[in-house]
Structure 1
């Protein structure tokens, strides 16, 4: 349980956020559930969806609710370390993998420039943000293939790859199998394990 009462998003506060009104910077902080980031009202970041906004009295409350400070508007007054910013981006991809995630979209969501985001993410994670998004989508696709009866096209759509042929090509490139083959291989393996009498180790 949080040691404070979260504030209500009033019409006045919502207007301050969408107008980037600096006059409200000392009055409240807002966080966005889908990105895990909190900002000053004056931040020039992309306008969030109203239902994803949470209001806090100050940066300390937002931090205690496990949100991270925006790299652009610096609501804690300090510079956000690169490793924390990359953790923000990673969380953002993990949460929004089913959406269209270009480098520009991610930079906008995580409040930085595309070039700096690409360079910093690769330095910390050893891969680009787009490569990480692809890996996340393939991991989610594997779970769907193993644990659901969704069609290949539906799985592609569920992981943010609505073009079925591109999804199949990318999946084969990353795993060495088509989605259909991967599903069949896993199911054959499960059947073998179930029928195995366990007398040998």
Structure 2
């Protein structure tokens, strides 16, 4: 049965107190991960934390074990962890993302996350972030008349010039060329946007 953390449990989590390991596990609703009290991950927002007496109870509630603190007494398979990292990036691509932030939120070290993600996906986490952002940018370019600067912001790239450079590196076209080519295609096929 899950409960909200009491003050003693909150203190144990904030202090990464190993003395409480095995007494309870805390689960973070926003990340769907559960940890030991001693986990070195970023201190969670306690409004999103529930306490479980065992790892099995947290697993049964749909939470995944933390990779950093090995909360279930076993490691997540790398493929499952990478799937979780991908989901995290897919859900947060429009926010400013750094490797450290992704690693903190996905409960691993930046070095380990980078190595495992690259091994499993064949691309770096940053390359995947760019891929997701530019895929969404293509949709905006095709389906809206938003200025390129606004599209850049919507996909998480604050600098329009940087956005255009990245877009051209990945697609071999500038965003404007991509939009114009799509418009021509639509007109040639008898469609209008």
Q: Which moved more, 1:76-85 or 1:13-22?
A: 13-22
Residues 1:129 and 2:162 are matched in the alignment: no
Q: Secondary structure at the match of 2:185?
A: helix
1:187 equivalent among 183, 187, 193:
183
Preserved contact between residue 24 and residue 36 of structure 2 (Cα < 8 Å) = no
Ranges in structure 2 where 5+ consecutive residues have no aligned partner: none
1:90 to 1:195, Cα distance in 2 relative to 1, 3 A? closer
Residues 1:55 and 2:46 are matched in the alignment: no
Ranges in structure 1 where 5+ consecutive residues have no aligned partner: 197-201
2:24 equivalent among 27, 30, 33:
27
For residues 152-187 of structure 1, the C-alpha deviation after alignment (integer angstroms, 9 at most, x for no partner) is: 112211222101100011011101221222223223
Q: Which moved more, 1:131-140 or 1:54-63?
A: 54-63
Match of 1:97 in 2: 93
For residues 53-74 of structure 1, the C-alpha deviation after alignment (integer angstroms, 9 at most, x for no partner) is: 2415243343344432111111
Q: 2 CA distance for matches of 1:195 and 1:88? A: 39
Preserved contact between residue 121 and residue 128 of structure 1 (Cα < 8 Å) = yes
Shift of 1:106: 2.3
1:56 to 1:147, Cα distance in 2 relative to 1, 3 A? farther
Preserved contact between residue 107 and residue 113 of structure 1 (Cα < 8 Å) = yes
Match of 1:162 in 2: 158
Match of 2:67 in 1: 71
Residues 1:46 and 2:33 are matched in the alignment: no
Which aligned segments of 4 or more residues in structure 1 are displaced greater than 6 angstroms?
none
RMSD: 2.6
Q: Secondary structure at the match of 2:189?
A: helix
For residues 104-141 of structure 1, the C-alpha deviation after alignment (integer angstroms, 9 at most, x for no partner) is: 33222223232222221111111111111111111121
Q: Secondary structure at the match of 2:50?
A: strand
Match of 1:199 in 2: none
1:195 to 1:155, Cα distance in 2 relative to 1, 3 A? closer
